[in-house]
Amino acid sequence: MKNFYAILSFLFIFVTSTVTAQNFKWNNYPAGSTSSSQNNNGINMNVNVSGNGLSSGFPKYNSNGGGNLATTVNWNNRTSTVTYTFNFSKPLIGMTFLLFDVDQTSSWDDKLTITGYRANNTAIYPMISGTSYAIVYGTNHNIVEGKKNNEEYDEDPVVVSFDATPLKSLTIVYSAGSSSPSNPASQVVGFGALVYENVLPLKLMSFRADKKNNAAELKWETENQENFSHFEIERAASADASFEKIATLNATSTSEGSYSYTDGNAFRLMQKAFYRLKMVDEDGGFTYSAVMTMAFDNAPSVIVSPTLLNAGEMISVNITGDAREKFEVKLFDMSGRMLSQQTASNRIQLSTARLLKGMYIVSVAGATETRSFRVMVQ
């Protein structure tokens, strides 16, 4: 149904009540503008609209209800599109929003393609809920299309949600669906408020511990150093012992950083040392890294290659050292879900045939040390 002036308060409250109250609303969006910006708690969002077929005065805020940005188009063909691009000044996590009135009749068929992007422009695909009026499909399950007409604009909206991967930009492409006539009638969809859980101030790209002349050499790399203060290096004598702070390193002033710290005293105090990073934001909030273990003996070396590969290629894990020692080699996705587990003493290969594009973690755990490596499947 294309009577879009409806009350949306209930649905909007339902969504925002399930996440932290950070959102971009549309009540100040200038009607008919194809470019706009707004700021929310220090985060700036720029909106750009391109394409053809927009009806006069659109996009515009739906002032009668729960805060959606309505878009009406009147195409005279099935190939025209309108693209919304949302750019954020800082990476956001947990983005969620509603899509209203995605439906189909004999006169029109709404189709929306939603894609997010990291800061390096690699794509992130959302989870999209199908409804009684719309279906979700596509290789990346990021396309939603109408399948029948709904009776109310705000009835059974589509829910779009991204995971904890940092989202730097977002595109929504509005087009005619596969069942659209060659000259579709005027059609409309609406975008609810963009709700996000938090700003991700730091991304730990790598963290490793190596032994060098009976000293523990810690190295790590970061991205997205927004509103970030410093690192505290912590050490413990066993997995069950309390960690103590042994050093503090201030963050660099750039968005990316490479850091190192050498602990030359641990071998005098303990046979094995456990290290972790405490990563502290400017507001005092903090998170911990994974724990790295260092044994002060002839520890084996581990090489994982390649770290950038195409789906279907093999990941090689080469271990040098005591051939009698067994290692647990595990593959994780970025949500922490273990995808495979094998035991090896020197060399093993991991298949990527069933992996989607994205970042993965290879963990190699021996009796005295655990090493983690990031690999990118493209």
DSSP class of 109: B
Residue 34: phi, psi to the nearest 5? -100, 10
- Tell me how far apart the alpha carbons of residues 88 and 69 are, in angstroms, rounded to a whole number: 18
The predicted pLDDT at position 157 comes to 92
The predicted pLDDT at position 53 comes to 96
- Write 351-357 long-range contacts (CB < 8 A, 24+): 351/314, 352/309, 352/311, 352/312, 352/313, 352/314, 352/315, 352/377, 353/311, 353/312, 355/311, 356/311, 357/122, 357/123, 357/311
Mean pLDDT by 10 residues, the chain (378 residues): 39 33 89 96 93 96 81 96 95 91 95 95 94 95 94 88 89 97 96 81 85 88 84 85 90 87 80 88 84 72 86 87 75 92 87 92 78 89
The predicted pLDDT at position 10 comes to 31
The predicted pLDDT at position 342 comes to 92
Residue with tokens 């929310």: 40
The predicted pLDDT at position 151 comes to 79
- Tell me how far apart the alpha carbons of residues 26 and 8 are, in angstroms, rounded to a whole number: 13
pTM attached to this predicted model = 0.54
The predicted pLDDT at position 104 comes to 95
The predicted pLDDT at position 242 comes to 83
CA 258-263-265 angle, to 5 degrees, is 175
